[in-house]
Homo-oligomer: A and B are copies of this chain.
Amino acid sequence: MAEQRSISLGDLARQAGAELSGDPTLTVDHVATLEDAGQGAVTFLANTRYRRFLATTKASAVVLSPEERDGFPGAALVSDNPYLVFARVAQLLLQEDESEESARVHPTAQIHPQAVLAPNVRVAAQAVIGARAQLAEGVVIGAGTVLGADVRVGAHSRIAANVTIADAVMIGARVVLHPGVVIGADGFGFANDAGRWVKVPQTGSVQLGDDVEIGASSCVDRGALGDTIIGEGVKIDNLVQVGHNVRIGAHTAIAGCVAIAGSTTIGKGCLIGGAAGIAGHLTIADGVTVTAMTGVSRSIRKRGVYSGSTLMQPSQEWRRNLVRSGQLDEMYRRLRELERELADMKKKQVGNNELH
């Protein structure tokens, strides 16, 4: 899908927004780990633990922070945000050669006659595009992917293989959907009729903003009434569940296996750690971080970092403490009783002492 290309360190530094320390005419053509890098490779210090590899790396250049650069004899791309510079470097070196891979619709793809595809849209084998679907320029649809009727996909969005997009879902520009993603399946809405469940038709849809990315096999349900809305620049990892009528603010990032129940609103610029769970009908403020495996059962009104995960211990210790976790309230009451009695005794003791 992507081709490597050669670029001089001078050009690379300029385009990636880094300061170059080294020969600007030297060319590089790929990224690699510090350990594996050879000639032509740009690398970076992913973790301070790998610092020892700096001395021996064979990379042509390393992306470093000003502090890390100190004493490093090789060529360096220096920045206060080296991870960002590395991201740009990797993008530049892997830049898609759009001209080569000519636009085409595979003959086995089934495009509804009422669907509208921009001239340079690519649709892979066995994909299915529904009635009145609109695919803007540069859109890429993977093999076996199914788009329902009235789906709209913005320019340069890339939808991988075996994705399912239900009817009337609206997808912004430059959106990336990984394999197995499901957008717009019915939300979980049932009314109870004397013990039996009656389906509440899910009449809303889903809106994905520009630059959204959603990981493999994640699901975003359509709204019951009104739409489920994922703001621009939101990044969602794999196997994440987003319930009906959830709203996620711009540039929020959600790690793998998170579950978000229906009608919850998450603010902008939030970070939700892996396998966290968020109950329904809550509001989470902008700039909130929820750490991994935390259960959020009430709204969070203030920016900050919130946690609720448990302590891992050797099982023998854990078992002893687990029993006590079920006696916490009793322990609290016994503690309070002790405090009372002690205060009482103290009083008496003082009395006794005064007696003497």
**Interface of A with B (CB < 8 Å)?**
1-2, 30-33, 36, 43, 46-47, 81, 83-84, 86-88, 90-91, 94, 106, 108, 110, 124-126, 128, 142-144, 146, 148-149, 160-164, 166-167, 176, 178-180, 182, 185-186, 188-193, 195-201, 203, 213, 215-217, 219, 221, 225-226, 233, 235, 237-239, 241, 243, 251, 253, 255-257, 259, 261, 269, 274-275, 277, 279, 281, 290-298, 304-315, 317-329, 331-332, 334-335, 338-339, 341-342, 345-346, 348-349, 352-353, 355-356
Taking a contact as CB atoms under 8 Å apart, the answer to whether B191 and A164 are in contact is: no
Q: List 19 A-B contacts (CB under 8 A).
A: A46-B225, A90-B201, A94-B203, A110-B126, A144-B146, A146-B161, A166-B179, A179-B185, A180-B180, A180-B182, A180-B185, A182-B217, A188-B255, A219-B239, A221-B238, A307-B319, A308-B313, A317-B329, A334-B335
Q: How many copies does the complex hold?
A: 3
Which chain B residues border A253 with CB–CB below 8 Å? 190, 197
Instruction: Determine the distance from Cα of A195 to Cα of B211 in the docked complex, in whole angstroms.
Output: 13
Contacts of A298 in B (CB 8 A): 312
How distant is the Cα of A342 from the Cα of B345 in the complex, in angstroms? 9
Taking a contact as CB atoms under 8 Å apart, the answer to whether B321 and A312 are in contact is: no
Residues of B within 8 A of A108 (CB): 108, 110
Chain B min CB distance to A253 (Å): 6
Residues of B within 8 A of A110 (CB): 106, 108, 125-126, 143
A221 touches B216 (CB 8 A): yes
* Alpha-carbon distance A329/B200, docked complex (angstroms): 46
Contacts known (A32-B225, A185-B179, A342-B345); A201 close to B324, Cβ less than 8 A: no
In the bound complex, CA of A323 to CA of B292 (Å)? 17
On chain B, the residues within 8 Å of A84 by CB distance are 191-193, 198
A-B pairs with lowest CB-CB distance, top 8: A164-B179, A324-B328, A308-B312, A84-B191, A257-B259, A320-B329, A185-B216, A87-B191
The answer to whether A311 and B315 touch across the interface, beta carbons within 8 angstroms, is: no
Q: Which of B87, B193, B274, B307 contacts A312 (CB 8 A)?
A: B307
Q: Determine whether the beta carbon of B334 is less than 8 Å from that of A331.
A: no
State whether A193 touches B81 (Cβ < 8 A).
yes
Which listed residue, B33, B144, B199, B339, touches A126 by the CB 8 Å rule?
A: B144
The verdict on A180 contacting B164 (CB below 8 Å), with A32-B225, A327-B332 known, is yes
Cα distance A195–B233 in the bound complex, in angstroms = 10
In the complex the two chains form, is A180's CB within 8 Å of B217's CB? yes
A50 to chain B, nearest CB (A): 11
> A1-B167, A203-B31, A295-B293 are known contacts. Are A314 and B306 too (CB-CB below 8 A)?
yes
A17–chain B nearest beta-carbon distance, Å: 9
| Distance of A352 from chain B, by nearest CB (Å) | 7
Closest chain B CB from A179 CB (angstroms): 4
A295→B295 contact, CB < 8 A: no
Q: Are A128 and B146 closer than 8 Å at their CB atoms?
A: no
Once the chains bind, are A304 and B314 in contact (CB under 8 Å)?
Answer: yes
* Chain B residues closer than 8 Å to A198, beta-carbon distance: 84, 87-88, 91
A251 close to B196 (CB less than 8 A): yes
